[in-house]
């Protein structure tokens, strides 16, 4: 490998020596000599701070170290490799030295709706002026397509662009769509246990955790599903966003369910926002129905065939409908799956969760209509699209099903223009405030879309 090729592994990145040793086959010493170095920890306002993730002293633990001292290491970003007080991080400034691309770089031949075109213009303007913008668009509004023109304009002007999301499933859904839309552009897809080695590319799709390995790399950074776990609870991921973007850069937030803080910033006009209350196909959002199911935890396992949700599942199967069944947790999902095997012995179905090593294959099987229904935790609440399905939420009152989660789950229904409707059933043992707020939010968006003349049916 040429020296310049080896250095490309480090452009815009900040890595430990051990990480570079895994990536670079030859030319490592030259890269290390050329790189800027930074100690793994620094003192900030009398507190020790991890340079990689920004965490403070309470997340640092002392251990005997090969350097001969008791070194502290950071627990918050341990999954990226242990960083200690004696560690060095290596960095080379972003060069934006990419092969020239054939113009136009955008190969997508689709057509944007009126509101998508408006959002696209806002996004292009924000990228050109290095601004920050929230795109608040209902699930199924076509957020990805709205990004295309802005990404194309940025790439044609030699900028480096990243699209990041907290969820691996969202990244795996986005990557092929971007690769198809920008066929002449090399796209790197970065996530934990990724199948391909890192490449230096002008367009990157990554989980937000992977941004911890970058430093002042991106001219444009797009964060999809900003309200999703763990981005909504882990401050180091917000630190990673600021560290990964250049000082002069554009930042685009995408979500269907912004949190209260973001909504407040928009209301006070402290954050530019583009609000899209309708789907691109002009049909209203399907509204959930709340159905009392009694003590579903008991009946779904011990009296399965007579359980209210199961009777609805049998009805849907008899009419040839395919559907997702959301449940509160993995352990309970496994129990229900076993019980349903006895009730539906001739039907094709499966279960999937964040711990399932086959989750990618199972989601593909559902998308390709090889199975009739899929039991799932909230792992599939967002970022996945199926052509024509219904959705059942069993135990919708469980606290795992927040307002945001229920709105996103509801957004799996009616996304395709040929199949714009479907059933969303919230089975409960008492209505929760989150359930009521989710239904209210969906109805509010439908009213706003109708007021703007965006609903055509």
CATH number at residue 124: 3.40.50.300
**Does any domain span residue 418?**
yes
Share of the chain above pLDDT 90, in %: 83
Mind listing the pLDDT tens digit for each residue in 45-63? 878 899 999 998 766 878 8
- Residue 93 in this model has a pLDDT that exceeds 80: yes
**Structure token pair of residue 231:** 């981005």
Mind listing the pLDDT tens digit for each residue in 396-437? 999 999 999 999 999 999 999 999 999 999 999 999 999 999
**Does any domain span residue 69?**
yes
How does residue 70 score in pLDDT terms, banded at 50, 70 and 90? Answer: confident
Which residues fall within 8 angstroms of residue 390, CB to CB, at 6 or more apart? 316, 321, 322, 323, 324, 413, 422, 423, 424, 425
Mean pLDDT score, 379-384? 89
Tell me what pLDDT residue 59 has.
67
User: Do 164 and 26 belong together in one domain?
Assistant: no
CA nearest neighbour of 380 among 210, 172, 175: 172
Mean pLDDT score, 61-80? 87
Q: Is the dihedral of CA 145, 225, 436, 428 positive or negative?
A: positive
HSE on the CB side for 347, CA within 13 Å? 20
Helix, strand, coil tally for the chain in percent (to 5): 35, 25, 40
Q: What would you report as the CA-atom Rg of the chain, rounded to the nearest whole angstrom? A: 24
How does residue 438 score in pLDDT terms, banded at 50, 70 and 90? Answer: very high
**Alpha carbon of 115 to those of 112, 145, 267, 391, 433: distances in Å?**
8, 12, 20, 27, 31
HSE on the CB side for 449, CA within 13 Å? 25
**Does any domain span residue 218?**
yes
Tell me what pLDDT residue 2 has.
42
Do 411 and 256 meet the contact criterion of CB atoms below 8 Å apart?
Answer: yes
How does residue 289 score in pLDDT terms, banded at 50, 70 and 90? Answer: very high
Last residue within a domain, chosen from 245, 276, 307: 276
**Alpha carbon of 409 to those of 50, 351, 369, 396: distances in Å?**
36, 16, 19, 11
- Cα 445 from chain centre: 22
How does residue 4 score in pLDDT terms, banded at 50, 70 and 90? Answer: low
**Does any domain span residue 457?**
no
**Does any domain span residue 102?**
no
Do 296 and 307 meet the contact criterion of CB atoms below 8 Å apart?
Answer: yes
**Does any domain span residue 180?**
yes
Sole residue written with tokens 């109708």:
450
Cα separation of 402 and 436, whole Å? 10
User: Do 133 and 265 belong together in one domain?
Assistant: yes
Q: pLDDT: is 169 or 398 the higher one?
A: 398
Do 51 and 239 meet the contact criterion of CB atoms below 8 Å apart?
Answer: no
How does residue 457 score in pLDDT terms, banded at 50, 70 and 90? Answer: low
Do 133 and 122 meet the contact criterion of CB atoms below 8 Å apart?
Answer: yes
Which 8-state DSSP code applies to residue 13?
B
- The structural domain count of the chain equals 3
User: Do 190 and 241 belong together in one domain?
Assistant: yes
> Cis ω on the peptide bond leading into residue 39 (within 30° of 0)?
no
Cα separation of 420 and 412, whole Å? 11
User: Do 127 and 85 belong together in one domain?
Assistant: no
**Structure token pair of residue 222:** 């797009």
User: Do 191 and 238 belong together in one domain?
Assistant: yes
pLDDT-wise least confident of 10-14, 61-65, 263-267: 61-65
**Does any domain span residue 142?**
yes
User: Do 234 and 320 belong together in one domain?
Assistant: no
Residue numbers of the domain that contains 16: 3-91
Tell me what pLDDT residue 1 has.
36
Mind listing the pLDDT tens digit for each residue in 185-224? 999 999 988 888 999 999 999 999 999 999 999 999 999 9
User: Do 258 and 302 belong together in one domain?
Assistant: no
User: Do 201 and 169 belong together in one domain?
Assistant: yes
User: Do 134 and 263 belong together in one domain?
Assistant: yes
User: Do 175 and 70 belong together in one domain?
Assistant: no
Tell me what pLDDT residue 233 has.
84
Q: What's the mean per-residue pLDDT of the chain?
A: 94
Indicate the pTM of the whole model: 0.90
User: Do 137 and 255 belong together in one domain?
Assistant: yes
**Structure token pair of residue 270:** 């402290």
Last residue within a domain, chosen from 31, 58, 91: 91
User: Do 446 and 315 belong together in one domain?
Assistant: yes
Share of the chain above pLDDT 70, in %: 98
**Does any domain span residue 333?**
yes
How does residue 3 score in pLDDT terms, banded at 50, 70 and 90? Answer: very low
How many other CB atoms are there within 10 angstroms of residue 291's CB atom?
15
């Amino acid at each position: 490998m040429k020296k310049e090729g080896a250095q490309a592994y480090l452009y815009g990145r900040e890595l430990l020596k051990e990480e570079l040793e895994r990536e670079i086959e030859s030319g490592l010493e030259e890269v290390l000599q050329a790189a800027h170095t930074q100690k793994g920890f620094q003192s900030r306002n009398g507190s020790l701070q991890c340079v990689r993730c920004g965490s403070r002293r309470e997340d640092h633990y002392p251990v005997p170290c090969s350097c001969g001292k008791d070194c502290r290491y950071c627990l918050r970003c341990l999954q990226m490799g242990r960083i200690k007080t004696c560690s060095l991080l290596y960095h080379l400034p972003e060069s934006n030295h990419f092969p020239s691309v054939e113009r136009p770089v955008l190969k997508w031949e689709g057509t944007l709706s009126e509101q998508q075109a408006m959002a696209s213009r806002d996004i292009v303007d924000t990228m050109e002026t290095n601004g920050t913008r929230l795109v608040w668009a209902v699930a199924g509004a076509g957020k990805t397509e709205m990004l295309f023109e802005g990404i194309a304009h940025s790439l044609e002007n030699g900028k480096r662009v990243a699209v990041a999301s907290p969820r691996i499933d969202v990244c795996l859904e986005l990557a092929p769509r971007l690769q198809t839309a920008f066929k002449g552009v090399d796209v790197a897809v970065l996530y934990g246990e990724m199948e391909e080695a890192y490449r230096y590319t002008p367009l990157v799709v990554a989980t937000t955790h992977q941004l911890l390995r970058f430093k002042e790399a991106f001219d444009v950074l797009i964060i999809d599903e900003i309200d999703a776990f763990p981005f909504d609870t882990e401050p180091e991921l917000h630190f990673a966003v600021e560290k990964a973007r250049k000082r002069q850069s554009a930042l685009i937030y995408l979500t269907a369910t912004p949190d209260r803080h973001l909504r407040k910033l928009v209301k006070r006009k402290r954050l530019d926002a583009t609000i899209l209350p309708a789907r691109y196909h002009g049909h209203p959002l399907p509204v959930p129905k709340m159905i009392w199911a009694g003590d579903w935890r008991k009946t779904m396992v011990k009296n399965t065939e007579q359980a209210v949700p199961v009777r609805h599942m049998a009805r849907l199967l008899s009419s040839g409908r395919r559907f997702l069944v959301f449940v509160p947790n993995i352990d309970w999902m496994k129990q229900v799956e076993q019980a349903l095997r006895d009730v539906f012995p001739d039907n094709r179905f499966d279960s999937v969760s964040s711990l399932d090593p086959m989750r990618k294959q199972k989601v593909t099987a559902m998308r390709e209509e090889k199975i009739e229904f899929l039991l799932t935790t909230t792992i599939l609440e967002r970022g996945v699209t199926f052509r024509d399905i219904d959705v059942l939420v069993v135990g919708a009152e469980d606290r795992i099903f927040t307002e945001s989660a229920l709105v996103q789950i509801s957004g799996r229904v009616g996304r395709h223009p040929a199949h714009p409707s479907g059933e969303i059933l919230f089975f409960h043992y008492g209505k929760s405030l989150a359930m009521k707020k989710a239904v209210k939010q969906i109805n509010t968006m439908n009213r706003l879309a109708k007021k703007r003349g965006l609903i055509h049916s």
